[in-house]
C-alpha cells in the first residue's frame, strides 16, 4: 500500500484482512475514509448528516478494546436516511420530518453496530425513497444523476468514502444507483431481513439493500444481519452452469451501449462454458412493470397516510402516486399481487436448468442532470416478484461511465445468487 489515500479504496473484507495481517491500523483506515470524504463531499454530496472525524475517532478510541475484538473492528457504515438511527436524525428526505429523532436504531443498524460497525453518517435518500432527488451527484461523472433512491449510499461506496452502506429498494432504489455509480448493490429476497425501524413505503415490495465494493463484503454483512457465522475470508465464487438472459427488450428500451454490454457478458459466459438461454417472454415481464406500479400506488398512500395529509409538502410525483393509489380499484391491486406471484412461478419453470437470470440493471448509463434519478422499470419486474437481485459493476461505456448488469436469483436462494455474482464480477473485471 502506497499511502492512506489508497486504504479507503479497499473493500470491507480486504480492510479486515489487512488489519488481521497488521498491514495497517483501524485508525489509518478511518482517517483514509475521512480524507476521501473531505476531498470529495462538496462535489458528491453523499451525506445527509455525519459524524466529524474527531467525533468518530474519539468514539472509536473510547471503546477501542471492544472494537478491536469485534468482527467489523470499528469500520465506518453509511445508513440511508430512511432507516432509523438512535444517534442521528432520520428525516427521510422530506421537509415533513426535519428534525425527526428516532428512539432506537433499526434492527439492521443495531446488528451491524453490535458486530463492531460505526455509523459514520446518514446517506442522502430521495423523498421517502421515491422519486424526488436529494443533493447527491454521480461520482463517476458529477454532471449525471447517481440514481435513486439510495443515492448517497451508492455514491459513498462507489467513491470509496466508506466500505459498507445500507439502503432499501421498493422499485429500483438499490440496483439503479448501484448501476449508475458503479457499486455492488444487493437486494434481499422479500422477507429475508428484518425491516424493523426501516421506514416502509410498500409492504409487499420493500426490501433491505446492501452496498459494498466486493461480493464477499455483501456476504459478510448478510451473515451479520442473519446472525449466522461470519468469515472475512473471501468466499468461494461459484460458476453457474446455466444462465437465462432477459434482454432489455423484455422490459423496455435500452441504449446501444447497454445492448453491447449485455452481448459482451453473454460472450464471456459462453467462453467459460456456461449454457446461456434467452428468455422469450413476450409481454410477460413487461406486464410486471404495471403490476408493480399498481401494488406500489395502493400501498404507498396507505403506509404514508399521515404524510399524505400534508399534501403541500409532498413532491408532485409522490402526490400523483398517492392519488393513483387512492382512486384505483382494490381488484386491480389484488390482481397485480396475484399476477406477480404467477409470473415468479412461470419464470423459474421456463427452463428448469436455469440457476440465475442476467438482465440490464438500467436502460443505459446514468442520465445527465440532477432533476430526476433515471428510469426504474428495469428493476420493477424482479422487485414485484420478490426475488433477490444484485448489480454487478464492471462494464463501462466508451467514456468509462458505468453500465450495470444485474443477476436475479431464485426466491430465498440469496446465498447461491451471491456465489454466482462473485464469480461473475471476477469475469467482468
Which of 12, 46, 82, 111 lies at the binding interface for a copy of itself (CB under 8 A)? Answer: 111
For residues 409 to 428, the per-residue mask of contacts with a copy of itself, x marking binding by CB under 8 A and - elsewhere, is: ---x----------------
231 Cβ neighbours under 8 A, 6+ residues apart: 220, 223
Residue 80 CA: distances (Å) to CA of 90, 133, 166, 218, 360? 9, 13, 6, 16, 24
* Residue range at the interface with a copy of itself (CB under 8 A); choices 25-33, 128-136, 200-208, 279-287: 200-208
User: What SS3 state is found at 33?
Assistant: helix
DSSP codes, 148-202: SSSHHHHHHHHTTS-SEEEEEESSSTTHHHHHHHT-EEEEPPTTSS--TTBPPS-
Tell me the C-alpha distance between 189 and 210, whole Å.
12
Distance of CA 256 to the CA centre of its chain: 25
303 binds a copy of itself (CB under 8 A): yes
How many angstroms separate the CA atoms of 118 and 106, rounded? 14
Does position 226 bind a copy of itself by CB under 8 A?
Answer: yes
Closest to a copy of itself by CB, 254 or 303: 303
- Of 235 and 303, which CB lies nearer to a copy of itself in the complex structure? 303
Residue 390 CA from chain centroid, whole number: 8
Rounded least distance, CB 299 to a copy of itself, Å: 7
Q: Which range touches a copy of itself (CB under 8 A), out of 73-81, 120-128, 199-207, 417-425? A: 199-207
Instruction: Using the minimum distance from each CB to a copy of itself, give the nearer residue, 64 or 100.
Output: 100
If one asks whether residue 107 binds a copy of itself (CB under 8 A), the answer comes out as yes
Beta strands in 197-355 (DSSP E): 207-212, 242-245, 275-278
Residue nearer to a copy of itself on the CB measure, 201 or 389 = 201
66: contact with a copy of itself by CB under 8 A:
no
- Exactly one of 124, 158, 245, 301 binds a copy of itself (CB under 8 A); that residue is 301
Q: Residue 17 or residue 412: which is nearer to a copy of itself going by CB? A: 412
The pairing of beta strand 356-360 with beta strand 402-408: antiparallel
Q: Is 349 in the site for a copy of itself (CB under 8 A)?
A: no
Residue with smaller CB distance to a copy of itself, 180 or 420: 420
Residue 221, interface with a copy of itself (CB under 8 A)?
no
Nearest-approach distance from CB 49 to a copy of itself, in angstroms? 16
Query: Could you tell me which stretch among 101-109, 209-217, 248-256, 274-282 binds a copy of itself (CB under 8 A)?
Result: 101-109
Report the C-alpha gap between 260 and 241 in whole angstroms: 23
Question: Total binding residues for a copy of itself by CB under 8 A?
Answer: 35
306 binds a copy of itself (CB under 8 A): yes
Asked whether position 130 contacts a copy of itself by CB under 8 A, the answer is no
Task: In whole angstroms, give the CA distance from residue 216 to residue 237.
Answer: 9
Shortest Cβ 314–a copy of itself spacing (Å): 16
Catalytic residues: 80, 149, 173
List binders of a copy of itself among 377-416 (CB under 8 A). 412
CA neighbor of 192 nearest in space, from 6, 411, 346, 343 = 411
Those residues with Cβ within 8 angstroms of residue 138's Cβ, 6 or more apart along the chain or in another chain: 144, 145, 146, 147, 155, 180, 181, 366
Return the number of the residue (2 or 330) whose C-beta is nearest a copy of itself: 330
At 208, is the secondary structure helix, strand, or coil? Answer: strand
Minimum CB separation from a copy of itself for residue 425, in Å? 24
200, 237 in Cβ contact below 8 A? no
Q: Which residues of this protein are in contact with a copy of itself, per CB under 8 A?
A: 100-105, 107, 110-111, 114, 191, 193-196, 199-200, 203-204, 225-228, 299, 301-303, 305-306, 309, 326, 330, 334, 337, 412
Amino acid at each position: 500500500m502506497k499511502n492512506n489515500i489508497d486504504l479507503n479504496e479497499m473493500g470491507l473484507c480486504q480492510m479486515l484482512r489487512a488489519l488481521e495481517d497488521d498491514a495497517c491500523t483501524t485508525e489509518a483506515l478511518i482517517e483514509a475514509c475521512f480524507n476521501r470524504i473531505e476531498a470529495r463531499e462538496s462535489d458528491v454530496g453523499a451525506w445527509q448528516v455525519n459524524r466529524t472525524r474527531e467525533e468518530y475517532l474519539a468514539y472509536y478510541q473510547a471503546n477501542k478494546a471492544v472494537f478491536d475484538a469485534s468482527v467489523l473492528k470499528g469500520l465506518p457504515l453509511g445508513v440511508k436516511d430512511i432507516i432509523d438511527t438512535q444517534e442521528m436524525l432520520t428525516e427521510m428526505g422530506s421537509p415533513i420530518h426535519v428534525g425527526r429523532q428516532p428512539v432506537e436504531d433499526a434492527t439492521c443498524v443495531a446488528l451491524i453496530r453490535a458486530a463492531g460497525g460505526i455509523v459514520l453518517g446518514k446517506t442522502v435518500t430521495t423523498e421517502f425513497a421515491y422519486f424526488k432527488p436529494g443533493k447527491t451527484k454521480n461520482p463517476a461523472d458529477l454532471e449525471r444523476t447517481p440514481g435513486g433512491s439510495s443515492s448517497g449510499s451508492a455514491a459513498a461506496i462507489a467513491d470509496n468514502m466508506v466500505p459498507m452502506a445500507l439502503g432499501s429498494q421498493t422499485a429500483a432504489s438499490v440496483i439503479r444507483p448501484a448501476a449508475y455509480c458503479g457499486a455492488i448493490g444487493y437486494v434481499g429476497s422479500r422477507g429475508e431481513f428484518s425491516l424493523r425501524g426501516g421506514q416502509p413505503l410498500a409492504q409487499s415490495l420493500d426490501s433491505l439493500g446492501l452496498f459494498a465494493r466486493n461480493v464477499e463484503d455483501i456476504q459478510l454483512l448478510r451473515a451479520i444481519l442473519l446472525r449466522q457465522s461470519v468469515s472475512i475470508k473471501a468466499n468461494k465464487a461459484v460458476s453457474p452452469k446455466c444462465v437465462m438472459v432477459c434482454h432489455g427488450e423484455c422490459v423496455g428500451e435500452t441504449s446501444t451501449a447497454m445492448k453491447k454490454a449485455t452481448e459482451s457478458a453473454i460472450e464471456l459466459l459462453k467462453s467459460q462454458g456456461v449454457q446461456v438461454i434467452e428468455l422469450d417472454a413476450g409481454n410477460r415481464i413487461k406486464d410486471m412493470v404495471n403490476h408493480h406500479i399498481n401494488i406500489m400506488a395502493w400501498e404507498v398512500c396507505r403506509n404514508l397516510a399521515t404524510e399524505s395529509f400534508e399534501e403541500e409538502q409532498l413532491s408532485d410525483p409522490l402526490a400523483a402516486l398517492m392519488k393513483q393509489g387512492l382512486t384505483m380499484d382494490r381488484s386491480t391491486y389484488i390482481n397485480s399481487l396475484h399476477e406477480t406471484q404467477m409470473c415468479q412461478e412461470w419464470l423459474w419453470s421456463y427452463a428448469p436448468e436455469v440457476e440465475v437470470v442476467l438482465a440490464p440493471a438500467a436502460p443505459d448509463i446514468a442520465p445527465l442532470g440532477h432533476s430526476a434519478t433515471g428510469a426504474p422499470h428495469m428493476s420493477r419486474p424482479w422487485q414485484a416478484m420478490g426475488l433477490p437481485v444484485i448489480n454487478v459493476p464492471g462494464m463501462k461505456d466508451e467514456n468509462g461511465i458505468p453500465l450495470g448488469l444485474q443477476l436475479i436469483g431464485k426466491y430465498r436462494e440469496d446465498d447461491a445468487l451471491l456465489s454466482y455474482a462473485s464469480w461473475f464480477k471476477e469475469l467482468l473485471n
